[in-house]
Amino acid sequence: MEMKGIIMDGISTSFNIKDTLLKLFDDNIGSLSEKDTPEIAEMRRKAIAVFARQGFPHTKLEKWRNTDLSKVLNHDFSFPMEPQTQDVNFEEIFRCDVPGFDTHMISQLNGCFIDRGKTLLQANTGVIACSMAEAFIRHKDHIINHFGKYASISDNGLTALNTAFARDGVFIYVPDNTEVEEIIQVVNLIHSEGDIFVQPRNLVILGRNSSLKLVQCDDSVDDNTGFINSVTEVVLSEGSRLDHYKLQNKNNRSALINNIYFHLEAGANLSTNAISLNGGLIRNEANVKLNGRGAHADILGVYLMDRNQHIDNQVFVDHAQPDCTSNELFKGILDDQASGVFNGHILVRQDAQRTNAYQNNKNILISDKAVIDTRPFLEIYADDVKCSHGATVGQLDSEAMFYLRSRGISMENARMLLMYAFAAEIVNRISIPRLKQRIDDLVKKRLRGELSICEQCVLHCSTKEQKVVFDIDMSKV
């Protein structure tokens, strides 16, 4: 059937999602704002106005030049406003077959928190892990103090859209001087009959000198088209410590926009690692504000893309205060017609003396048709600063290939070993041993072409382990 094309914000689609969303907002403003404080109700109105003005980002915008949303938006989406739990066998989905990787698992289905009746071991010490919907009612103080304070709506139409519709997601609060012993794992599943557009909104608050290990998994359950516009705000109070992982293993028909805003106070320490194994279109935006002396952030990522997959990592590090350090390393392997983008923006403000910032993006292109657009952008206003950046794009080292093959290793396996070795630099930075082992396995599987899209969370992949020679780490025997 010939459909009439609609020009929407410079994007040509058959469906005017923007108008649909604006109407959806008007129709639902009552229920959306039901639990709002006046400030948050006002924030929603401002946010929808920004979205009405800016719409979806298009390729004429500098930051979106190489990531085109028009195709992934060109669907007849449904926009769930209420949680659904129908026809999903959770026990099946969440079956855990990773020995020893015990986590406190929180599940979200189509952007909505699913209460599975599990309680955190440290709930009695004030640690909270609940739905945002619940937090809007029961933890109003935290919401008032932090919600929307870090995710800037003025310059990001997608964050504005998410803010306008913010209703559910995950809320985590760690009190001062508390070390959360359990690893909290958030599994975001998309499962629907048809094409679906979801907007989870998360808020994570770490009190002073607290610490948390957080793993966010993005998975698809079925093969339907999903557009996920996710926003997460993370506050690291003085001296707190967050070890954060994003695992992305989505179907090829999915688009995942993952905006995270980290706000670090003095002496806070962040390590965030984005591991993208599959996905039709993935855009990770990591915004890191170093807002107190001595704050430190490691921002890491590894991406393994093939077919027509597209990966886009945007990192913005804002050195707002003196004596902070940041360290960015993203490594990627692109095969077939896969495309990638890396934009690393480091801003060193005038007062941020003795800043030490490092940034690097290394890529291997396996095929002639794979492309990567990588650009560093340093914006420095202080004078006593150490900043360095680098970017490489290359093929597998021919000398190393010769070395491996000269030992009798086939070309195919030699390539795989070198790709694995390339990715290992990031995988080795995972500080949770069980998780590291699991990701290591997944990377190997991915490189062998065995991991397409798991039916389950990437951490609970049910694919049978296959013994392949180099898979056996004898050093552990």
Partner 1 sequence: MLSIKNLRVSISGKEILRGINLEVKPGEVHAIMGPNGTGKSTLASVISGRDIYDITEGEIIFKGKNLLEMSIEDRASEGIFLGFQYPVEIPGVSITNFMRTAINEQRKYHGLDPMPASEFLAKMEEKKQMLEIQAKLANRSVNEGFSGGEKKKNEIFQMAMLDPDLAILDETDSGLDIDALKIVANGVNKLRKPDNSFLVITHYQRLLDYIVPDIVHVLFDGRIVRSGGKELAVELEEKGYEWIKAEMD
Residues interacting with partner 1, by CB under 8 A? 397-400, 402-411, 413-414, 417-418, 420-425, 427-428, 469-470, 472-475, 477
CA distance 49 to 160: 8
Minimum CB separation of residue 339 from partner 1 in Å reads 25
Smaller CB distance to partner 1: residue 130 or 404? Answer: 404
Smaller CB separation from partner 1, 1 or 474: 474
Least distance in angstroms from the C-beta of 69 to partner 1? 35
Radius of gyration from C-alpha coordinates of the chain: 22
CB proximity list for 411: less than 8 A, separation 6 or greater: 401, 405
Are the beta carbons of 292 and 263 closer than 8 angstroms? no
Task: Using the minimum distance from each CB to partner 1, give the nearer residue, 464 or 476.
Answer: 476
Closest distance of CB 314 from partner 1, Å: 27
Nearer to partner 1, 196 or 419 (CB): 419
Residue type, 98: V
User: 187 or 396, CB closer to partner 1?
Assistant: 396
Contact present, 133 and 244 (Cβ < 8 Å): no
We find the least distance from the C-beta atom of residue 472 to partner 1, in angstroms, to be: 7
The β-bridge partners of 332 are 303, 363
CB neighbour list of residue 137: distance below 8 Å, 6 or more residues apart: 35
- Measured CA to CA, the distance from residue 450 to residue 366 in angstroms comes to 18
Q: Smallest distance, Å, CB 49 to partner 1?
A: 50
Nearer to partner 1, 274 or 404 (CB): 404
* Contact residues for 207 (Cβ-Cβ < 8 A; gap 6+): 173, 174, 175, 176, 177, 178, 237, 240
Q: Least separation, in Å, of the C-beta of 421 and partner 1? A: 4
Q: How far is the CB of 395 from partner 1 (least distance, A)?
A: 14
Rounded Cα gap, residues 296 and 240, in angstroms: 11
Side-chain half-sphere CA neighbours of 155 within 13 A:
7
Give the residues across from 103 on adjacent strands: 183
Provide the minimum distance between the beta carbon of 428 and partner 1 in the complex, in angstroms, as a whole number. Answer: 7
- How does DSSP classify residue 420? H
C-beta of residue 239 within 8 angstroms of C-beta of residue 209? yes
Q: Which is nearer to partner 1, 7 or 474 (CB)?
A: 474
CB of 150 to partner 1, least distance (A): 35
Q: Would you say 119 or 406 has its CB closer to partner 1?
A: 406
Contacts of 365 (CB under 8 A, 6+ apart): 334, 371, 372, 393, 394, 395
Residue 182 and residue 102: Cα distance in Å, rounded? 8
Cβ-based neighbour number of residue 325 at 10 Å: 18
Shortest distance in whole angstroms from residue 332 CB to partner 1: 15
- Distance, in Å, from the CA atom of 55 to the CA atom of 255, rounded to the nearest integer, reads 17
Task: Pick between residue 260 and residue 443 the one whose CB is nearest to partner 1.
Answer: 443
Q: Which of residues 44 and 415 has its CB atom nearest to partner 1 in the complex?
A: 415
